[in-house]
Amino acid sequence: MHNTLNIATFNIHKGLTHFNARFALHEQRELLRTLQPDIVFLQEVRDEHATHSKRFINWPQTGQASFLADAIWPHFSYGKNSVYPAGHHGNAILSKFPIVAEKNADISVHRTEERGMLHCIIEIPKWDKPLHAICVHLGLFARWRHAQLQMVADYIDAHVPADASLMIAGDFNDWTTRAGEKFASRLNLHEVFEQHRGSHARSFPSVLPILSLDRVYVRGFHIQHTEVHSGARFIKMSDHAMLSARLNRYPAD
């Protein structure tokens, strides 16, 4: 039985490195394949861009979500959030297990910044109830983040059973941690790095992380291991570090 799940969250910066210097999607895919988490939460996935697809060699014709999922994660979902003349980007969830339902919700609170949350219901073999997985990318300003987390919490209260296994991961942009603390308290969540290490993971900038922007919140899991993937190699990856965790589901009652 798959009671232990390995997960990761990664803001891939539209497949580009710091300051959009070079196309890094192939290196990002190799990193994910090396770790092979069961479920991957991705932000800033650029699934279509007319200019970049011509500018960069080896731009995937099937879209970034499909390219990253290929061969390892047979099930994936992409939620389009930000749309512009050249294309669009958003969040994605990759899964080794079937995604049986999905919903992409708009949580934008200002016309200058389009944000979304992607909710997938995943069937894990021999689990009595499915897993609810939510990928988010929140706004740059504190008042926007507070409003967005209120929307996410209201959505969870309405659509996720209180006894369901739940994961919420992504780029929270919550470097002060205030918005996340209120959010976690309301929904009875634990942030995995804070619980396992005593503090949130530093994930930005990826080469030498200082700010804690990325999060993994869970309900119904023990935390076995956490890791921040950062350092010099991320010059060729993204401006965000990748976070990973090994989680063990609480036994069913």
Rounded Cα gap, residues 166 and 84, in angstroms: 32
Residue 139 has phi, psi (to 5 degrees) of -75, 170
Q: What share of the chain is helix, strand, coil (3-state, %, to 5)?
A: 25, 40, 35
Number of domains in the chain: 1
**Cβ atoms 223, 196 nearer than 8 A:** yes
Structural domain containing residue 207: 4-249
Beta strands 99-106 and 116-122, pairing class: antiparallel
Per-residue pLDDT tens listing for the chain (253 residues): 578 999 999 999 988 886 566 889 999 999 999 999 999 999 999 866 555 555 566 767 778 999 999 889 999 999 988 766 656 679 999 999 999 999 999 999 887 778 899 999 999 999 999 999 999 999 888 888 999 999 999 999 999 999 999 999 999 998 888 888 989 999 999 999 999 999 999 999 999 999 999 999 999 999 999 999 999 999 889 999 999 999 999 876 5
Rounded Cα gap, residues 206 and 233, in angstroms: 9
CATH of the domain at 151: 3.60.10.10
Of 122, 126, 121, nearest in space to 156 by CA? 121
Q: Note the pTM of the prediction, 2 decimals.
A: 0.93
Rounded Cα gap, residues 78 and 93, in angstroms: 7
User: Cis bond leading into 205, ω under 30°?
Assistant: yes
